[in-house]
Amino acid sequence: MVIKTRFGLMGRDRDSYLELVIAFPLSSIRSERHLAEAQKVMDQLLSKRKLDEGEETYLDALSDLVAVYEDEHHPIKPASDADMLRHLLDAKGVTQARLSQQTGIAKSTISEVLAGKKPFSRQVMRKLADYFRVDVGILAGN
């Protein structure tokens, strides 16, 4: 059966995509062994300097299949507010005192968040997002 769509690969891009599909068919990942093989294929593609459109399309599809399997079989717990703040402080190399001075967030609030006694408030999230130049959704996702 032939289905015509507006999406399609032509020429060399199509050839590289089909070669990859023949070598490692795109299908739902069903085991740890299958996952390991998929990761090897992804690593090989990622190690190339430049991918053509066919290779990029294949890599995107395989990455999606791997992500679905990993989300189901290897879930990662979201970071706590304390973990997130600790990471941001370390990444930027600032102290709690400096963060307080530059954002206007009370030192006690910062300490309570880091101790896990208090979650981020909306106001604190906005100030932290502006200060660390991250999307506020990253902080709200916890």
- Give the integer Cα–Cα distance in Å for 45 and 40: 9
Q: Which helix (H) or strand (E) holds 7?
A: none
Q: Where are the domains of the chain?
A: 11-73, 81-140
- Give the integer Cα–Cα distance in Å for 142 and 140: 5
pLDDT of residue 105: 96
- Give the integer Cα–Cα distance in Å for 127 and 104: 8
Lowest mean pLDDT among 2-11, 48-57, 61-70: 2-11
- Give the integer Cα–Cα distance in Å for 55 and 75: 28
pLDDT level of residue 140 (50, 70, 90 thresholds): confident
pLDDT of residue 111: 95
CA–CA–CA angle 63, 68, 70 (5° rounding): 90
Start-to-end Cα distance in the chain? 47
Q: Which residue has the higher pLDDT, 139 or 5?
A: 139
- CATH architecture of the domain formed by 81-140: Orthogonal Bundle (1.10)
